Amino acid sequence: MSLEQLIELSRLYGSNPQWVLAGGGNTSVKIKNTLYVKASGTTLADASEATFVKMDRKKLAAVLKKEYPAEPAERESQALQDLLDARAEGQELRPSVETLMHELLPFTFVIHTHPPMVNGITCSQQAEQAARTVFGDEVVWIPNVNPGLILATTIRDAIKEYKTQHGTPPWLVLLQNHGLVVAGDTPEEILARHRDVASRVKAHITRFPELDTVPYDGRQAETLAYQIARAADELVPGTPDHQAVFICNREVFRHVRSAKAFTPLSRAFSPDHIVYAGHRIPFLTQTDDFGAELAAVRRELEDFLRETGRIPPVVAREGLGVFITGRNRRMMDAAAALFLDAVQIAVYTQAFGGEAFLPPEQTDFILNWEVERFRTRVSAGE
């Protein structure tokens, strides 16, 4: 088994939006005492030898056995330091925050992705019950917990219990409001297991998203895009360079009919949706009063800015569609991709009792992380 095979698998899943988007997901291969895991901040689509971090597996095992303080900030900073110290000599990149999960699954290859169809289960009301219906006792279900060390220890305990009950380790893990983990000993096994997961979920889906284009009022969209961008410029000091781009399709249009119809898209499904598309999506109601519309745009942007320290990446407008805002094309593309991913998830959840968002506790946890990251980016002049 080789790093080259892992690179090939990473590119395969990383370049297909039906498995993962933007910087989401992570992969690993175990070669004797070494674990090669995706470096944080890299994308699977661009996987190469340089995007993996070489980890010492003995040191990772020690992290999993260690007792940490109960206080969250202290616990996470110690665990992060131990993770960095578990790198092989000369390694400088930061390993994925989910590295310990990779060490815990006793298979050569571990592939973690965020497929919208599978998230139709993990972000649904039925959640675990739906996972059991679709995958029987092959799946290990991990409920919503904070990422980092707590997620790792939850997975450790769940795998241990699975082994006690079944005598074999699990190859399939579903993370609530997050995604999929598939493990296997050969690339062929990995490919076959992903095909199996996709076809089993597909058999339960009751409606597929309709992502074809629909006609819209281009002039109105253009005017509002301009107003949103200018309002953002006014609220954020610095270079006035915000942009707002309009997007719509049949499924989006269906959801912007009213605030009620938009409910399934109003909040974030998973950590990546928070990071790229925002923890919630402001909804502007339809009005013919131009002044009132401007005031509403400004108020919505201001509220979001106060909550998170940034302009909302996505803003919805009743009867029209959504606007992607930002000042960096790459971030705007990611926001659009993650929003359209959420649209698909919302439709898929209809087969499993309807949508269920990431709970407030986990949302706040991620938001605080993200705010820190965002502050760092701002101070770096990005």
| Binding interface with Zn ion (CB under 5 A) | 179
Residue 131 near residue 125, CB atoms below 8 Å: no
Rg (CA), the chain: 21
- Residue 32 near residue 280 (C-beta atoms within 8 A): no
Q: Tokens 């592939």 sit at which residue?
A: 111
Least distance (Å) between residue 37 CB and Zn ion: 13
* Dist. CA 66–CA 61, nearest whole Å: 9
SS3 category, 329: helix
DSSP state of 269: S
- For residues 298 and 228, the answer to whether their CB atoms sit within 8 Å is no
CB of 151 to Zn ion, least distance (A): 10
Residue nearest to Zn ion (CB): 179
The least CB distance from residue 40 to Zn ion, in Å, is 11
Q: Which is nearer to Zn ion, 95 or 179 (CB)?
A: 179
Output the CA–CA distances (angstroms, integers) from residue 322 to 51, 142, 251, 305, 362, in the order listed. Answer: 34, 33, 12, 18, 26
* Least distance CB 27 / Zn ion (angstroms): 11
Nearer to Zn ion, 47 or 301 (CB): 47
Q: How far is the CB of 104 from Zn ion (least distance, A)?
A: 15
- The alpha helices in 173-312, defined as continuous H runs, are 187-202, 218-235, 250-255, 259-262, 271-277, 290-308
CB of 96 to Zn ion, least distance (A): 9
Between 88 and 198, name the residue whose CB sits nearer to Zn ion. Answer: 198
CB closer to Zn ion, 179 vs 209: 179
| Separation CA 247–CA 256 (nearest Å) | 12
- Provide the token pair at 188: 């062929």
Distance (Å, whole) CA 101 – CA 142: 12
Nearer of residues 27 and 325 to Zn ion, judged by Cβ: 27
Q: How far is the CB of 275 from Zn ion (least distance, A)?
A: 10
Complex with Zn ion: residue 272 or 293, whichever CB lies closer: 272
Q: Which residue do the tokens 């990546």 mark?
A: 272
Task: Considering the complex, state which of residue 158 and residue 261 has its C-beta at the smaller distance from Zn ion.
Answer: 158
Residue 167 corresponds to which tokens in the numbers above?
A: 């005598």
Q: Which is nearer to Zn ion, 96 or 243 (CB)?
A: 96
CB 163 within 8 Å of CB 113? no
Which helix (H) or strand (E) segment is 59 a member of? helix 57-65
Question: Minimal distance in Å, beta carbon 375 to Zn ion?
Answer: 23
